[in-house]
A and B are shown apart, each in its own frame.
Chain A
Amino acid sequence: MALPRPCGDFKRSWEADEAVFPTAFSRGALAAFLLLLGLAPLAAGDFWLYLLNLCGIALVGAQGLNILTGFTGQISLGHGAFVGVGGYTVGILATRLNVNPVVALLAAGVAAALVGLLFGLPSLRIKGFYLAMATLAAQFILEYLFMRAAPLTGGAQGLFVERPALAGLAIDSDAKFFYLIMTVAALATAGARNLLRTDVGRCFVAIRDRDIAAELIGVNLFAYKLLAFALSSFFAGLAGGLLAYYVQAINPQGFTVLLSVDYLAMIIIGGLGSVLGATFGAVFITLLPELLKLAIDAVGGWLPIENIFPALREIIFGLLIVLFLLREPEGLAKLWWDVKAYWKLWPFAY
């Protein structure tokens, strides 16, 4: 995706040429976006703030899966369970041991990373659909553990998690959570983008594009595949930890294979391997069902379709995704680049 460079955009150092936001305009746009996002709690009501928070949590998890599936090309159907490992880690540490939330969140990431590392071991031998099956097995094994290790996980009832307090400040409202979640989400996004412009990220992409050639230039495939699993699960664990603190209740139903599929949908619809795409995808997949609900509720007043509401919502959700993928298989990120490229050349788009 080589965008045409804007006129007069000359660089005087390699450092400037390596910048993610190369122009003053792009840096200004980023600052404006962050400022607006920071002001969002002033304008948004509880409902919208709740949705934004869910988007932020989904974003952390999606960036994680994008590292594994988007960058490294290792498909995973166990991401939801890795999120669950993070959730339960926070649940156990916060309720049983009353651990500081920052420590608990980091522990959630590390615990998930270790579990991810373990279930990433088969990736050295198997690829593609077979790896998908192996990670699906990871999903079911972990789900089983969430359910059966009742003394630790609370079994089917799950755990109740107290809201956290940071340095004496209780994080007890949607607005306070908003800042916590968005900070983590921003760090996760920046981290994923940074990864992609250093050797580690390039090695991941090399493994995805041509694993034989990667080996030939000295990439240790096994080590890097495991690293991708660990990093990806670390992000998943963070997302799970945030979710546990935010919704205050975790149980096995929250981390089923459906969650794994949701995460896959996010990065595929957003655009595999694109950090921006994972961002778009996380927001899109999180908001779409809620927006559909609002739309159908609005229409429901005039149409006698009350009984089939839930089913209708699922059908439209699926239909929209299929139509979308037909229209733009490379995802929302591609759409964004196309629009940008159009305006860069406008009105001289010969």
Chain B
Amino acid sequence: MPDNAILAVEDVSLSFGGLAALSGVSFEVAPRTIHALIGPNGAGKTSLLNCFNHFYTPTAGRIRFEGRDITALAPHRIAALGIARTFQNIELFRGMTVLDNIKLGRHLHMGVGPLAALAYWGRARREEIRHRRFIEERVIDLLELEDIRDQVVGALPYGLQKRVELGRALAMEPKLLLLDEPVSGMNVEETQFLVRYVLDIREVWDVTILLIEHDMRVVMDISDRVTVMDFGRIIADGPPAAVQHDPGVVTAYLGEPGRREATA
């Protein structure tokens, strides 16, 4: 597996001052899988994701994407290699419409210069329409955003905003999609919808999904592989069924055994 892993995390450590957020984290994500990253609050999951985007710089170790070391690349270059991301606390452009937000996801696939843009003629115009069609057919249709495409994002309910953010990430046509708590704060119905979208995406697009999630039913249902973190370390890594019964994982989530029989 080491050779065909799409993402390889090799011995990554991160500390803020004297506080170690990550210590010696290593794991791999196989292509075209749904890989879940779980762990109690403060385990370092989001910090690790921030290392992938180079919002944080690891103090040691390296991160390889498709074999290439991306640890020191600028965030926009990492995006250009094919890594897209959604956030736990939505990071959309709130003043723009849904359509413009998703169009921005196409940025890396657009190449019009400023002068052509001023004139909106020839290539600029054709490109704009071509991408509009792509977005409508591949993203808006898949995520069922037709009726809100002209609405301003800031005015939409939370669940829809999460879906729009997923749409923007998808429009980038990423090879690796990082989802940071995609169903947090959602009710049962919204959660079911979003999980269906994630499965649809894996079905239709050639994409690997790495998700952080606290909803264990979702994680156990859809993941091919689960990596568990606690206090900045990996404590388990394997298929969902195996991880579920790992004594270390049970301890991390429920405390020392003995006080209560735990079947997660």
Chain A residues near B (Cβ < 8 Å):
1-2, 14-15, 17-18, 191, 194-195, 197-203, 205-206, 209-210, 212-221, 227, 231, 273
Contact = CB atoms under 8 A, between A and B. Distances in A.
Given A194-B117, A195-B118, A215 B76 contact: yes
B152 A198 contact: no
**Which 4 A-B pairs have CB atoms at the shortest separation, nearest pair first?**
A218-B79, A194-B120, A191-B118, A209-B93
B132 A206 contact: no
B89 to A, nearest CB: 11
Nearest to B90: A213
Given A205-B93, A213-B93, A218 B172 contact: yes
A14 B133 contact: yes
Contact of A197 (B55, B75, B120): B120
8 contacts: A14-B129, A198-B112, A198-B116, A198-B117, A215-B79, A218-B172, A219-B76, A220-B74
B129 A2 contact: no
Contacts of A2: 97, 150-152
A227 B96 CA distance: 21
Nearest to B54: A215
B104 A195 contact: no
Contacts of A14: 129, 132-133, 136
Interface in B195-254: none
A153 B248 CA distance: 77
B62 interface: no
B108 interface: yes
Interface residues of B, number: 45
B162 interface: no
B17 interface: no
A212 B50 CA distance: 12
A195 B152 CA distance: 19
B80 to A, nearest CB: 5
Given A209-B96, A219-B76, A219-B107, A197 B128 contact: yes
Interface in B76-121: 76, 79-80, 84-85, 87, 91-97, 100, 103-108, 110, 112-114, 116-120
Nearest to B83: A216
B106 A199 contact: yes
Contacts of A219: 76, 104, 107
B85 A218 contact: no
Contact of A18 (B75, B116, B119, B132): B132
B117 A199 contact: yes
B124 interface: yes
Contact of B118 (A194, A209, A210): A194
B168 interface: yes
A200 B136 contact: no
Given A202-B104, A205-B96, A209-B94, A220 B76 contact: yes
A217 B117 contact: no
B53 interface: yes
Contact of B104 (A18, A197, A203, A231): A203
Contact of A215 (B75, B84, B116, B168): B75
Contacts of B80: 218
Contact of B91 (A194, A198, A212): A212
Contacts of B76: 215-216, 218-221
A209 B87 CA distance: 16
A216 B136 contact: no
A203 B107 contact: yes
A267 to B, nearest CB: 16
B91 A210 contact: yes
A214 B91 CA distance: 9
Contacts of A227: 114
B100 to A, nearest CB: 6
Nearest to A202: B104
Given A202-B100, A214-B104, A217-B168, 12 more contacts: A18-B129, A191-B119, A194-B117, A195-B114, A199-B110, A202-B104, A205-B96, A209-B93, A210-B91, A210-B92, A213-B91, A213-B92
A215 B108 CA distance: 11
A194 to B, nearest CB: 4
A218 B107 contact: yes
A194 B127 CA distance: 13
Given A199-B117, A215-B76, A18 B92 contact: no
Contacts of B129: 14-15, 18
A210 B100 CA distance: 14
Contacts of A201: 117
A70 to B, nearest CB: 12
Contacts of A203: 104, 107
B172 A205 contact: no
